[in-house]
Structure 1
Amino acid sequence: MTKFILRRMGISFLVLLGGSLLLFVLTINSGDPIEDLRESNADNRDYLIRQRTAYMGLDQPWYSRYWEWLTGAAKCVTLNCDLGTNRNGVEVTSLLGNAASSTLRLVVLATVLAIVIGITVGILTAIRQYSGFDYVVTFLAFLFFSLPVFWAAVLLKEYGAIRFNDWIVEPTFTPLQILVTAGLLGIAVQAVMGGDLKRRALTAGATLVFVGAVMYYFSAVEWFRRPAFGAVLILVVGVAAAVGITALLAGLKNRKVMWSALTTVGAGLAVYFAFLPVLREPTWLSLLAILALVVVLGAVSGWFWGGYSRRLAMGVSVAVGVVMAFLIVVDRAVAGWMGLLSLKSRPISTIGSQTPNFTGDFWESFLDKGVQIILPTIVLTLVSVASYTRYTRSSMLEVLEQDYVRTARSKGLSERVVIVKHAFRNALIPITTIVAFDFAGLIGGAIITEQVFGWKGMGELFQTGLKTVDPAPVMAFFLVTGTAAVLMNLAADLAYAGLDPRIRR
């Protein structure tokens, strides 16, 4: 395995080297970087030309300029990158740091959501092949896959930002809105749950009544302006997550795993009350410490309760611990929503990744950045989730037809065990390839999304470099995207070996 990894890293290095050389040559030959100064009538034109020539190294041959960039980029191995300066003399390393943090924050979230949603929906459609639910998801998948990114982004700006900001002034629902929304969700839920006609009718009716009651309550108390979460909801959602994760991974009959998961919920709630003073004005380090504490408590709970299922119990409890930490963050963020509205009456801006010169506290700043990431994340997620859904469905259907799956069913194993432990693991092998390419592709695809939403990210850095015939920003973009592609492909290869032991040989 070590030789395989080293060989792949060597090949990847050669690919990056060749790609960087080609991109550098194409960029410097795409135009004249001092054309605007040649046409200028400024008195200090000659000085500006000499200054830009010095910044960009235009007095050197192209191979010297490329070698200078390559030696500076090689220093990134020791975390001391020197990517040169742009045509204005600004260090590209500082520009790259701000741009990469903005873009990666967007791309990582979109990738995680697309993987979770796409794979889950793909499994459901494979299990319920040729059902109404399968046909609807197939239609939506093809729709999202062919959706023009810029068009979807503009629509989201109109309805998700401008009209939402108008609505949040008086966040109430009309009876017609409540009825239509509850009815549509009832139809969707019964399609997912399936069953005979009686079961579908009961599911749709129960969903309609529940959603209608919740929307009426939210409208009556103006919950969207004065929201509340609280310890009770943390407990309820935590218990539901514990039961759901246990049912999926271990089965409800495994009482030891169930008690381990529920103990983790109690431990998470105890951490919430113990650290409530810290959570009112935390730091990122304190939040990470709380996450680590809840995860450790979950692992300890799994070890204590697990018995013969100790490893499984620890895994389930750690997953429940992560959910509890997430719920704690949601509770504190919800509590800061009123403060955000008092500082910013129109919370979702159509331009930028955050509000300039924002003066709020930690949670208000957290929400300000959070609401700005929602719309571009939705755009990127919709495009990716379609691919994950179709590939997962196809892979699952192929695996479900294999002999070992039929054998597992003939042994009397439950459908949960057949799907989760036998079919899903093998279906993940081709999906892993899609994940590796999609992450790197999203960084490049985010250029259009960032331009529509006015994000100062990698897309702007790349576009600025191309327009001004400045290779330094363009090569910085390549360094991040190319390295991401190489690392994700290496991770995919290692994941293959983990999913299928035969590949290790």
Structure 2
Amino acid sequence: MLNFLLRRLAAGVVTLFVALFIMYILVDAAIDPLADLVESTAPNKEQLIAQRTAELNLDTNVVIRFFWWIGDVVTGDLGEAWRSGQDVSGLLTRAIGSTLELVAAATVLSLLVGVTVGIVSALRQYSAFDYVIIFLSFLLYSLPSFWVAVLLKQWGAIGFNDFLRDPVIGWGVVVALSLVVGLLWSLAVGGSARRRVQVFAIAAAANVALFAYIQLTGWWDRPQIGPVLLALLGAGTAFAVAGVFAGLHNRRALYTGLTVVVLGVVLYFPMQVVFDSIDESHLLIAGLALLTVGVGYLVGRLFGGPDWRTSARTGAAVALVMGTLIFIDQVMQVWGPYFQALSGRPIPTFGDRTPNLGGNYWVQVLDSYTHLVLPTATLVLIAFASYTRYSRSSMLEVLNQDYIRTARAKGLPERLVVVRHGFRNALIPLATIVPIDVITLLGGAVITENVFARPGMGQLFVRSLMDAEQAPVMAYLIVVATLAIIANIVADIVYAAIDPRIRLDA
């Protein structure tokens, strides 16, 4: 492993240097810092041109300027944006922070939803559910992102903000939505006609109950999860995680998940005190998240048994969900003052922060999340289509392999065949695609950031290029090129971790 990393890092450094050299020359040829002065009618135009030429060293050979620039970069100096006089390091830090928020949310959601739906679609090949997913995937994949973003602005922000003035959903709409949800669940689960009817009835009834709870409790005005809903959602998660990854017959794994749910509900109340004392500390939240996962893993380990690792993984997964729900509940508790501060229109259509908002840490977190809703939804809808297609085709290929037929012939349960033998191998193609996609997004979702006016990496690159500022453009390219090299190395490592036939030091 160490030899592999050293070889790849050495090759990466050489590749980075050559790429930056080529890009520096191309950017220098593409921009003209003197364009505005050349077209100027000022009487001292020649003096201004000479002054800017000397200031930006434009009379020096471009190759020499590149080595001056790369020398400054090695010492940690990324230069200055000459028009605004701002330090490039500060501009880059601000842009990376905004883009990371967007990329993290969009990547996690699109992977979870896309891979899950794609695998279910593969397992229900040529069924009505499969055809529906294929249609939606191709439809979303063909839609331009700017058009999706504009529609979300209209209906996801303006329409929803108008709805919040009088948040009442007609019972006819509730019943219609519940029937659609029940139908989708019955198609996804499949099985005999009796089983489909049962799933349809349960899903539709659960959806009606959920909307009834929202309507009758005034949830739109005071959104929260609370201990009761936390217990119900946690129990459902425990059964789902244990059922998929261990099987409900594995009582140790199921009891581990339910024990973690009980601990989460018990700790819900003292955690309110802990959260109230938090003041702008993302690191503390991250530490609490790691502690939560560790506790869940420990609970599974304490239940023991010959397959304790399955119980431990189940406990860790359920603990992560419980911790996330408690965190979301805490953020929801400041909805009232935030709603009032934004004059009853809490879903914004531009930017990544509300200027001069004020408030405590949780208000700032809620403000950040509401600004993420629309651009994240745009990226998720587009990425969902591609991840669904990748995971479906990969799973279908895996299910036709000899070792899958052998596992079934040995009498293994279908759940075990799919989860332990099929799912892991179906992830191998995604291990190559996902890191590259993440780096592409880190480079800036240029169109999405432009529509929603998010000051991210894409906006920084476009604005700097239009202003003929070479230093910010090259700083952007350093980040993107470095991350692209790292992404390829990570993809190889993940590939080897998933597929034991691959040896990095071979």
TM over 0.5: yes
Distance 1:331 1:102 in 2: 24
Partner of 1:147: 143
- Maintained 8 Å contact 2:444/2:457: no
Change (3 A) 1:464 1:502: same
CA distance in 1, matches of 2:498, 2:210: 43
* Preserved contact between residue 33 and residue 470 of structure 1 (Cα < 8 Å): yes
Hey, what's the Cα distance between the residues in 1 that align with 2:220 and 2:263?
30
Residue 313 (structure 1) aligns with: 311
Q: 1:364-409 deviations in whole A, cap 9, x for unaligned?
A: 2211110110111111112212111111111111111111111111
User: Which residue of structure 2 lines up, in the alignment, with residue 434 of structure 1?
Assistant: 433
Instruction: Please report how far the alpha carbon of residue 46 of structure 1 lies from its aligned counterpart in structure 2 after TM superposition.
Output: 6.8
Q: How many residues align?
A: 500
Q: What is the CA–CA distance in structure 2 between the aligned matches of 1:237 and 1:208, rounded to whole Å?
A: 17
Q: Does 1:475 align with 2:474?
A: yes
Q: Spell out the pairing of 1:346-425 with structure 2 (5 A cutoff).
A: 346-425=345-424
Q: How far apart, CA to CA, are the structure 1 residues paired with 2:236 and 2:178?
A: 22
Scaled by the length of structure 2, the TM-score of the pair is: 0.93
Contact kept in structure 2, 1:16 and 1:482, CA below 8 Å: yes
CA contact (8 A) 2:186 2:197 kept: yes
Q: Tell me if structure 1 keeps the 8 A contact 2:261–2:322.
A: yes
Of 236, 239, 243, which residue of structure 1 is paired with 2:235? 239
Cα deviation code 1:161-215 (max 9, x no counterpart): 1111111111111233223322222222222122333433343333333323432
* Counterparts of 2:370 and 2:47, CA distance in 1: 46
Structure 1 residue 271 corresponds to structure 2 residue 271: no
1:25-64 to 2 correspondences below 5 Å: 25-41=25-41, 49=49, 52-53=52-53, 56-64=56-64
Structure 2: distance between partners of 1:100 and 1:192: 39
Distance 1:210 1:261, change over 3 A: closer
Gaps of 5+ in 2: none
The change in CA–CA distance for 1:368 and 1:50 in structure 2 (over 3 A counts) is farther
Q: Deviations over 1:94-135 (max 9, x none)?
A: 000000110111012211111111111111111111111111
Letter in 1 for 2:77: D
1:104 aligns with 2:97: no
- Residue in 2 that maps onto 1:341: 339
The 3-state SS of whatever aligns with 2:307 is helix
State the distance in 2 between where 1:91 and 1:45 align: 27
Change beyond 3 A, Cα 1:443–1:295: closer
**Which residue is equivalent to 2:210?**
214
CA contact (8 A) 1:172 1:219 kept: yes
1:103-122 matches, within 5 Å, as 103-122=99-118
2:133 aligns with: 137
Query: Structure 1 residue 43: deviation in Å?
Result: 7.6
- What is the correspondence of 1:179-198 to structure 2 with a 5 Å cutoff? 179-198=175-194
Instruction: Measure how far apart 1:335 and its partner are.
Output: 1.4
SS at match of 2:304: helix
Aligned with residue 244 of structure 2, among 236, 248, 263: 248
Match of 1:78 in 2: none
Report deviation, 1:23: 1.6
- Return the alpha-carbon distance in structure 1 between the equivalents of residues 79 and 26 of structure 2: 18
The aligned counterpart of 1:288 is 286
2:351/2:453 contact within 8 Å kept: yes
Q: 2: distance between equivalents of 1:339 and 1:207?
A: 35
Tell me, what secondary structure is at the counterpart of 1:275? helix
Q: Corresponding residue for 1:156?
A: 152
Aligned twin of 1:261: 257
8 A contact 1:56–1:86 mirrored in 2: no
How big is each residue's C-alpha offset from its partner over 1:13-55, in whole Å with a ceiling of 9 and x where there is no partner?
A: 2322222222211111114212213333568867765664455
Does 1:464 find its partner at 2:467? Answer: no
Note the C-alpha offset of 1:219. 2.7
C-alpha change, 1:212 and 1:485, in structure 2 (3 Å) is: same
Asked if structure 2 preserves the Cα contact closer than 8 Å seen for 1:27 and 1:470, the reply is: no
State the TM-score, normalized to the length of structure 1. 0.93
| Sequence identity percentage | 42
Moved more, 272-281 or 102-111: 272-281
